[in-house]
Amino acid sequence: MASAPGWFEGTSLNTAVLVPAAGRGERLGPGAPKALRELGDIPMLVHAVRSLLAARGVTAVVVAAPPDGVAGVRDLLRAQLPAESPVWVVAGGATRQESVRFALAAVPADHDIVLVHDAARPFVPAHVVEAVIAAVADGADAVVPALPVVDTVKEVAAANGAETVVRTVDRSLLRAVQTPQGFRRAVLARAHAEADGFGAEGATDDAGMVERTGGTVVVVPGSEEAFKVTRPFDLLLARALLERRAERAAQARADEADGAAESTEIDVVR
Ligand code: CTP
Ligand code: MG
């Protein structure tokens, strides 16, 4: 069957992924902007973009880089990605919300599905990206990948420098939301055009803005591997995950080599 470039699971809609990568990473401690810190000698942003390009249906990636580092990020991605990768780099803004808005303005015209993915989630599995795309292609206005909350969650009140518990929240209906979040392009554009009331920090996710404008947000299963690198402890987890993937890849290569040797033996026997 002939396929349009973005063909995926019965849709001919192209999907662009916006990658806000302009944050400083203050909670990670002093150093380069978070997206440019290295995990296994490769900047987090490069891992994230490779993870996205590995998903079926992704036909464009627009990175919002730290405003004073656009040329450097362009050079980095050019050096680290295959030639002709459909990746664009624009200057990000003062808040995540602003970075997403700037990236959205650079999406090529023929893209009707737009995902937003944090550069700080470098190891999102392709199946999560594909599930989000599929749910938008199925007709959802907005989609978030999410996991059940594992901790008991309590609401607190602060008084005289101490906190006391107000109540225990029913966690069975709570979800921890990840990225990529997916949208019909027009829905995301409207949410950003109409967004207000999020204060100086801006919205921390895009689906929240769609909720504000009355849209329905569909939930699909997330993945532990899509965790966000936020604090120094997360770097340990990221490096451990990289090591496990490297071991698995080495094992797969060894199995393949064994398989090749076996089939040669069979040939010889014949
Ligand atoms: N982000 C962005 N532009 C900003 C702020 C954040 O593009 N002005 C991006 C970050 O680069 C990150 C994503 O939004 O990929 C999620 O934000 P977060 O985890 O909070 O990253 P930082 O803002 O960099 O970290 P911190 O809040 O600890 O400073
Ligand atoms: Mg932040």
**Cα(25) to centroid of ligand 1, in Å?**
6
Give 229 or 159, the one with higher predicted confidence.
229
Q: Is the C-beta atom of 69 inside 6 A of ligand 1?
A: no
**Cα(57) to centroid of ligand 1, in Å?**
26
Helix (H, G, I), strand (E, B) or coil at 267: helix
pLDDT band at 11 (very low <50, low <70, confident <90, very high): low
Rg (CA), the chain: 21
Amino acid at 8: F
Q: Is the C-beta atom of 25 inside 6 A of ligand 1?
A: yes
Find how far residue 270's CA is from the centre of its chain. Answer: 50
Among the bound ligands, name the one nearest to the CA of residue 200. Answer: 1
Q: Which atom of ligand 1 is nearest to the CA of 34?
A: 24
Task: Name the DSSP letter for residue 28.
Answer: G
| 4 has pLDDT over 60 | no
Q: Which token pair is 191?
A: 């949410």
pLDDT, residue 264, reads: 66
Q: Which atom of ligand 1 is nearest to the CA of 28?
A: 28
Mean pLDDT of 140-159: 96
Q: Is the C-beta atom of 66 inside 6 A of ligand 1?
A: no
Gap between the Cα atoms of 163 and 157, Å rounded: 6
Q: Is the C-beta atom of 18 inside 6 A of ligand 1?
A: no
Q: Is the C-beta atom of 27 inside 6 A of ligand 1?
A: yes
Nearest CA to ligand 1 atom 16: 118
Contacts of 12 (CB under 8 A, 6+ apart): 4, 6
Q: Is the C-beta atom of 92 inside 6 A of ligand 1?
A: yes
Nearest CA to ligand 1 atom 25: 25
Gap between the Cα atoms of 94 and 67, Å rounded: 9
Question: From the CB of residue 219, how many other CB atoms can be counted at a distance below 10 Å?
Answer: 14
| 7 has pLDDT over 70 | no
Residue 202 gets the label, from left (phi > 0), alpha (psi -120 to 50) or beta, of: left
Q: Is the C-beta atom of 35 inside 6 A of ligand 1?
A: yes
Q: Is the C-beta atom of 77 inside 6 A of ligand 1?
A: no
Residue range 21-35, pLDDT digits in tens:
999 999 999 999 999
**Alpha-carbon distances, residue 145 vs 105, 121, 124 (angstroms):** 24, 13, 11
Which stretches does DSSP call E strand in 21-84?
A: 38-39, 42-43, 58-65
What percent of the chain shows pLDDT beyond 90?
83
Name the nearest CA neighbour of 198 among 108, 97, 102. Answer: 97
Nearest-5° Cα angle at 81, 233 to 76:
65
Gap between the Cα atoms of 117 and 179, Å rounded: 5
pLDDT band at 269 (very low <50, low <70, confident <90, very high): low
Q: Which atom of ligand 1 is nearest to the CA of 20?
A: 7
Residue 109 gets the label, from left (phi > 0), alpha (psi -120 to 50) or beta, of: alpha
Find how far residue 209's CA is from the centre of its chain. Answer: 17
Residue range 89-131, pLDDT digits in tens:
999 999 999 999 999 999 999 999 999 999 999 999 999 999 9
Among the bound ligands, name the one nearest to the CA of residue 34. Answer: 1
Name the nearest CA neighbour of 210 among 228, 226, 231, 189. Answer: 189
What does the mean pLDDT of the chain come to? 92
**Whole-structure pTM value:** 0.91
pLDDT, residue 194, reads: 86
Q: Is the C-beta atom of 43 inside 6 A of ligand 1?
A: no
pLDDT, residue 261, reads: 80
Give 217 or 202, the one with higher predicted confidence.
217
